[in-house]
Amino acid sequence: MLKNKVLITKLQESINSVLPIGIIVCILAFLAAPVATDAMLSFLVGSVLLIIGLSIFMYGSDNSMVVIGQQLGSTLTKSRNIAIILAVSFLIGVIITMAEPDLQVLSGNVSHIDSFVLIFTVSVGVGIFLVLCMLRILFGISLRWMLIIFYGIILVLALLSDPDYISVAFDSGGVTTGPMTAPFIIAMGVGVSAIRSDQNAEDDSFGLVALCSIGPVLAVLLLGFFYPGEASEIASEAARRYSDTVDLGFAYIKSIPIFMKEVFTALAPILVIFLVFQVLAFHLKKEAFIKIIAGIVFTYIGLVLFLLGANLGFSALGQLLGQTMAGGWTRYLLIPIYALIGWFVVSAEPAVHVLTRQVEEISAGAVSSRAMLTSLQFAIAFAMALSMIRVLTGISILWIVVPGYLIALGLSFFVPPIFTAIAFDSGGVASGPMSATFMLPFAIGVCKAVGGRILTEAFGTVALVAMMPLITVQIMGVRYVLSRRTQAQTYPTPEAYMERFADTDIIELWEVE
């Protein structure tokens, strides 16, 4: 019964994530930007598969990947061998990232870099920075200065890099901390932080997602100096035309073995590592072992369905809709519609609500979860508007990300360190599955229609979504600091506080008739 309730909860979360985009797409398709009936039907089938696949995937990941991450963190802690901790962290970082669904979708949209090369490069970047995360936790290294140093290197490299790699690099950082990677590495970090016994150990377990999202950006930028790439400008598969429903059904059925093979290749190393550690260190009881294996099976099935729906229905219509709206009077709706989708997407992300409650707790209610959610909605809507302006005007992403990250890093000097850690972690939270599966293909479709360069103008959508919470959460942190300062000035001592709320201010309820 409990399993069914959890699965239903995951299904509701998936529906909340996908449904807003589905409703907006249907309204546009029927009233403003008509699309072929077969393409719309393919989108609806893809949406159903996306919802089912995402819910099964999240359920399976919670019962397998998160548990394995916790077990690994605990086992590594007990070993107290730094060399083993770092080696296993690197290996896990590489393997878990290769199975990330958002990265799989992004790699399918990038035409000038071989999919395996891009996925492997990004995965190695995550692996290296997961090692740095562990070193930071073990030795209490300041997150702020690590962020300043590495983002400084990123900005310098970006100025020297091939423009075709810059937007892809920043998007890579946004998609890698998705529903597979983020829970796993956070669970590991919490386990490893137990080695330290000081009061800051728990706070230092935050920031793992922040650092791990830096690795892919650096790795892809460096790849641009050595990898020649391909000259193709074609990115993202366009919506196929189907003669009838049988043709549509066979198109989906024929694609199932392809995605089954891809997902098996991605998940097999994780299964092998789990089995090896089960024999050597975990020694889980039969019931717990079977539960994790079942979770991996659910993860596999969910990921296959997710990729099937995303690639054949969801992403394909996103590109087609973007192309259709870029022509005629609907072109003037692109910026507000894109911003509106961003508003609803971020409010539908379950992880965003976890983040807002987290900020409310650490600020002792000074920053309410409602205020935090509203600020994030405005931030992501603004990011999407900026992204569409880039597509329509051809503005370089550097004109936005350079000042954006400078502001985010500057704010880190005015807020408590925990706000900075949560802010940089939250970038991966906001850039959820919908950013890679629909928003990016939509931007690609618009870019094609207006004759822009996809690699430099359409890519970068996920990057802007991931960047805005860095600023927003820390602004809320500044608000928290100011409220504390005001309270301290108003009530400098406990006695002053008690005088303000004297006995005469207390209503004796039993005297009220």
pLDDT category, 39, cuts 50, 70, 90? Answer: confident
pLDDT given at position 366: 65
Model confidence pLDDT, tens digit, residues 320-350 = 888 888 877 888 888 998 898 888 777 666 5
For 410, list phi and psi in degrees, rounded to 5. Answer: -65, -40
pLDDT in tens, 171-191: 888 777 766 677 677 767 766
Residues, the chain? 513
Check whether 241 has a pLDDT greater than 80.
Answer: no
pLDDT of residue 457 exceeding 70, the answer is: yes
The pLDDT of residue 192 = 67
Q: Please give the model's pTM, rounded to 2 decimal places.
A: 0.79
What pLDDT does residue 410 have?
Answer: 92
Q: Considering the chain, what percentage of its residues have pLDDT values greater than 90?
A: 7
pLDDT digits (tens, 9 = 90+) for 183-219: 677 767 766 666 655 555 555 666 777 888 898 999 9
* pLDDT in the model for residue 472: 84
The pLDDT of residue 58? 80
Choose the weakest-confidence range: 91-105, 221-235, 270-284. Answer: 221-235
Top-confidence residue, 404 or 319 = 404
**pLDDT value of position 503:** 47
| Six token digits for residue 27 | 């309204």
Q: How confident is the model at residue 406 (pLDDT cuts 50, 70, 90)?
A: very high
* Over residues 111-138, mean pLDDT: 86
Please name the helix (run of DSSP H) or strand (run of DSSP E) that holds residue 168, with its range, or none.
Answer: helix 163-175
Residue 498 has pLDDT above 60, yes or no: no
Kindly indicate the confidence band of residue 236, based on its pLDDT and cuts at 50, 70 and 90.
very low
pLDDT at 363: 64
pLDDT higher than threshold 90 for residue 459 = no
- pLDDT at position 354, please? 60
Residue in 449, 433, 321 with CA at minimum distance from that of residue 40: 321
SS (H, E, C) 150-215: HHHHHHHHHHHCCHHHHHHHHHHHHHCCCCCHHHHHHHHHHHHHCCCCCCCHHHHCCCHHHHHCHH
What is the rounded distance in angstroms from the CA atom of residue 44 to the CA atom of residue 314? Answer: 8
Mean per-residue pLDDT of the chain? 79
Give the 3-state secondary structure percentages of the chain, helix then strand then coil, rounded to 5: 80, 0, 20
Q: What gap in Å lies between CA 459 and CA 505, rounded to an integer?
A: 59
pLDDT exceeds 80 at position 412: yes
Q: Are the C-beta atoms of residues 86 and 188 closer than 8 Å to each other?
A: no
For residues 422 and 401, what is the distance between their CA atoms, to the nearest angstrom? 19
pLDDT of residue 353: 62
Highest-scoring range by mean pLDDT, 59-68, 222-231, 464-473, 492-501? 464-473
Model confidence band, residue 85 (pLDDT cutoffs 50, 70, 90)? confident
Residue 240 confidence (pLDDT): 59
- Is the distance from CB of 309 to CB of 105 less than 8 angstroms? no
Sign of CA dihedral 360, 137, 87, 153: positive
Q: Where are the alpha helices (DSSP H) in 363-460?
A: 369-393, 398-411, 417-430, 433-434, 440-450
pLDDT of 280 strictly over 70: yes
Higher confidence at residue 502 or residue 101? Answer: 101
pLDDT at position 513 over 50: no
For residue 511, name the pLDDT band (cuts at 50, 70, 90).
very low
Evaluate if residue 80 carries a pLDDT over 80: no
Residue 377 has pLDDT above 80, yes or no: yes
